[in-house]
Amino acid sequence: MTVASRASSEANIGSLLVEAAERHPEQAAVLFRDDELSYRDLDAAVERLATTIAAAAGDASGRSLRGARIGVIAGNEPALVTALFAVWRLGAIVVPLSARLREHELGRILADSEITILLSVHEGFGYSFEQLLPRLLPELSNLRACLFITPSGETGPQLQGNPNAPEPDSLSPDVSAILYTSGTTGRPKGVLVTHERELYGSRELGSLLELGSEDTVAFVIALVHAFGLSCLLATIRAGGTAALVESTFSAAPLLTAIEERQVSILHGPPVLFAGLMKARPAGFARVRTGFVAGASTPPELLERLDAVGMRILNLYGLTESGAVACCRQDDPPQVRYSTVGRPLPGVEARVADREGGQIGLRELEVRGAHVVPRYLRPDAAEGAAVDGWFRTGDLAEIDEGNVFIVGRSKELVHVGGFNVFPSEVEAVLLAHPDVLQVAVVGVPHEKMGEALQAFVVARPEAELDQPTLLRFARPRIAGYKLPYAIRIVPELPILASGKPDRVALADTARAAGARVEV
């Protein structure tokens, strides 16, 4: 009896691949560099890996792994897709981890998640996990074995862990994954993601894009995070093709994939689309739509994308909630450019005043069958939801059902009595043709209380300086929103989620103590 034949009758994400392989066996499922896996090939690779995992656990039937926690360290490569579905085929819970994580981060998360089996690529972004993981094994009392996998998903060497590893507390059978938020302080927070939530998300996101088996979707966003994972599952559900691209500071790999793989759908943060518009002002002949998420998107950018035939939709969600609101293809331009659209079916949204909050600023709360968060550690949920309403931490307005995100409450900067959201300033600076990336943070200021400092990555060979950017920004935003200092840097510190590490940047700004008067 194969592992696949033991699939639970309950809702399981693994069913998406099984059904796609039955409907589209010869269709390309995954493209990576020069490699291609059909749905039949991917299904077979998943079966082989699931069998190998079960053997490593000392249970050829795999029954003991139902509900077990299995970690996966990989980048955007076939190994990750194969591993995800192999874990679900076993009825286990996957803990997907970015190959950008390093010893301190991995050690904390692996210990917190209490994984039973770990699957890892040999190396990622020039970092050797083969050298790291033997050092971490003695600290991971729950780990029975570590299996190394090739980029294509085949297994290699194996490290033995604790043969008498204790079983962690069991989790609800509806849990499919534990996704870790990208905070930089305190204990990592593992969010429990259910099969039902991702099945719902894959259906709704695919419907919004009118995604079909003829579509090729480029993935430069990390598949180990909520945004990328949900979009990948929508692609698999539709029988489409996932073209995997590793995120780098160069746009060249993505440009090559878009053009050579005839990509029709593209997802990413605003900075990705801004960079593509600078590299290809005329757009791409086949890219018709996609989602933009992760930060505030300048309306001018969405308008430019529209003009070249790329109708990119604002999508809003969090790791804790999954996708909760999105613009629609037929929304009028003013809605698509300035809001994140309406809540998805089955989701409600409201704004609520917070005790002690700033007058006129209200926090977005959402509720629905899939959006109230559950955490691996129950104490992480304290204050996250009230009477079934999840407090997102985003300040927002709702007009005619459409949600307008003002900014993150924790990122709000108070400049001389005025409230400033860094995302608004970032959007202005990002519009400069020589700016590739930008992050704005608030730092203490003796006279103003707080002040803004911007960190900017310029286009290669561009002659960009602080006065130039200030002259560009001054007529576009209020004077109190102008950064007191602008630093041109070769790169931004990036979290595993792909977002700028604002804590590290704020520390750098405080240490420098310099400012430019405006």
- 354-379: pLDDT as tens digits: 654 444 568 999 999 989 889 999 88
Position of tokens 């129950």?
378
Q: Distance of alpha carbon 147 from its chain centroid, rounded?
A: 25
Q: What are the helix and strand counts (H, E) for the chain? A: 14, 28
User: In the chain, where are the structural domains located?
Assistant: 4-26+36-194, 195-407, 412-512
Q: What pLDDT, on a 0 to 100 scale, did the predictor assign at position 99? A: 92
For residue 184, pLDDT over 90 is answered with: no
For residue 44, pLDDT over 70 is answered with: yes
* DSSP character at residue 4: G
Catalogue the E-assigned strands of 86-196.
Answer: 93-98, 117-121, 123-124, 127-128, 145-149, 155-160, 175-180, 190-194
In this prediction, residue 4 has a pLDDT band, given cuts at 50, 70 and 90, of very low
Average pLDDT of the residues in 463-484 = 91
What CATH number is given for 4-26+36-194 in this structure?
3.40.50.980
What is the rounded CA–CA span in Å between residue 500 and residue 513?
Answer: 20
Alpha helices, DSSP H, located in 328-446: 333-338, 422-430
Please provide the DSSP assignment of 29-52 as one string: EEEETTEEEEHHHHHHHHHHHHHH
Question: Are the CB atoms for 93 and 110 separated by under 8 Å?
Answer: no
What is the rounded CA–CA span in Å between residue 366 and residue 390?
Answer: 5
Domains 4-26+36-194 and 195-407 agree in fold:
yes
What is the rounded CA–CA span in Å between residue 322 and residue 261?
Answer: 29
Give the homologous superfamily in CATH for domain 412-512.
Answer: ANL, C-terminal domain (3.30.300.30)
Average pLDDT of the residues in 182-209 = 86
What is the rounded CA–CA span in Å between residue 82 and residue 347?
Answer: 31
Average pLDDT of the residues in 421-441 = 90
Average pLDDT of the residues in 408-437 = 84
What is the rounded CA–CA span in Å between residue 292 and residue 294?
Answer: 7
Q: Are strands 241-244 and 35-38 parallel, antiparallel or unpaired?
A: unpaired
For residue 214, pLDDT over 50 is answered with: yes
Question: Are the CB atoms for 340 and 314 separated by under 8 Å?
Answer: yes
For residue 266, pLDDT over 80 is answered with: yes
Which among 25, 142, 41 has a CA at the least distance from the CA of 82? 41
Q: What pLDDT, on a 0 to 100 scale, did the predictor assign at position 448? A: 76
CATH number 3.40.190.10 is the correct assignment for the domain at 195-407:
no
In this prediction, residue 407 has a pLDDT band, given cuts at 50, 70 and 90, of confident
For residue 183, pLDDT over 70 is answered with: no
Instruction: Average the pLDDT over each of 248-252, 306-310, 433-437, 484-488 and give the range with the smallest value.
Output: 248-252
Q: What pLDDT, on a 0 to 100 scale, did the predictor assign at position 249? A: 61
For the record, the structure tokens of 148 come out as 């190394």
What is the rounded CA–CA span in Å between residue 42 and residue 50?
Answer: 12
Strand order of the β-sheet with 155-160 is 155-160, 145-149, 117-121, 69-74, 93-98, 175-180, 190-194
In this prediction, residue 409 has a pLDDT band, given cuts at 50, 70 and 90, of confident
Q: What pLDDT, on a 0 to 100 scale, did the predictor assign at position 334? A: 95
* DSSP character at residue 247: -
Position of tokens 């077990």?
68
Average pLDDT of the residues in 191-213 = 97
Q: What pLDDT, on a 0 to 100 scale, did the predictor assign at position 1? A: 36
Mean pLDDT computed over every residue of the chain: 89
Among 51-65, 180-194, 462-476, the range with the most confident prediction by mean pLDDT is 462-476
CA-to-CA dists, residue 256 to 33, 167, 213, 244, 279, angstroms: 10, 46, 22, 12, 12
Question: Are the CB atoms for 435 and 456 separated by under 8 Å?
Answer: yes
In this prediction, residue 164 has a pLDDT band, given cuts at 50, 70 and 90, of confident
Residue type, 364: L
What is the rounded CA–CA span in Å between residue 213 and residue 286?
Answer: 15
Q: What pLDDT, on a 0 to 100 scale, did the predictor assign at position 361? A: 67
Q: What pLDDT, on a 0 to 100 scale, did the predictor assign at position 275? A: 87
Residues 6+ apart with CB under 8 A from 386: 365
For the record, the structure tokens of 11 come out as 């809702």
Instruction: Average the pLDDT over each of 94-103, 198-207, 493-502 and give the range with the smallest value.
Output: 493-502
Could you tell me which residue, 509 or 244, shows the higher pLDDT? 244
For residue 218, pLDDT over 90 is answered with: yes
In this prediction, residue 513 has a pLDDT band, given cuts at 50, 70 and 90, of low
In this prediction, residue 187 has a pLDDT band, given cuts at 50, 70 and 90, of low
Catalogue the E-assigned strands of 369-476.
Answer: 385-386, 389-399, 402-408, 413-415, 418-420, 435-445, 449-458
- How many CB atoms within 10 Å of residue 101? 22
Q: What pLDDT, on a 0 to 100 scale, did the predictor assign at position 502? A: 85
Q: What pLDDT, on a 0 to 100 scale, did the predictor assign at position 356? A: 44
User: For the chain, what percent of residues have pLDDT higher than 70?
Assistant: 93
Average pLDDT of the residues in 455-481 = 91
Among 23-27, 105-109, 354-358, 423-427, the range with the most confident prediction by mean pLDDT is 23-27
Q: What pLDDT, on a 0 to 100 scale, did the predictor assign at position 507? A: 86
Question: Are the CB atoms for 267 and 292 separated by under 8 Å?
Answer: yes
